Amino acid sequence: MKGAIYWFIVLVATTTISCDKQRESLHEDTLGVGQCKTYKVAPANITICFEAVEQESRCPVGVTCVWEGIAVTRFRAGIGADNHIITLATRDFHTYSKDTLVDGVTIELVNLTPYPDATATTTSNSYRATLRVTR
């Protein structure tokens, strides 16, 4: 009897996990400033364009800081004829967030490179953002 209950639980857990994976569309890509990418997230497509890094206050490599800082990015996300300007940050802080929801699609900033370095200058065009897009 215990064996039958064990296998029933395994079957239910496996079915639940595989159903969740089928419902969720997952995309993870890296975009440079000025680049756009279209993601297929049923029932529609979403196009995301990396417009700019609006704020860069992360503590540079080689410097001792009292806090880690934050970088804030701006993207344009379009589904059909609807366009949204969104800001995503490298960490959740006050009014800034690492992710947002646009028409049922979650867009998350996973990483922003290059990380500031006290010995190097970063140009605005050298930034690359890694995004995770899910429905």
In a domain, 52, yes or no: yes
Q: Determine contact, residues 112/53, Cβ cutoff 8 Å.
A: yes
Could you give the CA distance from residue 50 to residue 73 in angstroms, rounded to a whole number?
A: 8
Sequential pLDDT tens for the chain (135 residues)? 555 544 444 444 444 444 444 436 688 889 999 999 999 887 788 999 999 999 999 999 999 999 999 999 999 999 888 999 999 999 999 999 999 999 889 999 999 999 999 999 999 999 999 999 998
CATH number at residue 85: 2.60.98
In a domain, 46, yes or no: yes
In a domain, 116, yes or no: yes
Token duo for residue 120: 């190097």
In a domain, 15, yes or no: no
In a domain, 84, yes or no: yes
Domains held by the chain: number: 1
In a domain, 75, yes or no: yes
- What is this structure's pTM? 0.78
pLDDT, position 52: 96
In a domain, 120, yes or no: yes
Domain that holds residue 31: 27-134
Q: Determine contact, residues 49/35, Cβ cutoff 8 Å.
A: yes
Could you give the CA distance from residue 32 to residue 15 in angstroms, rounded to a whole number?
A: 38
In a domain, 2, yes or no: no
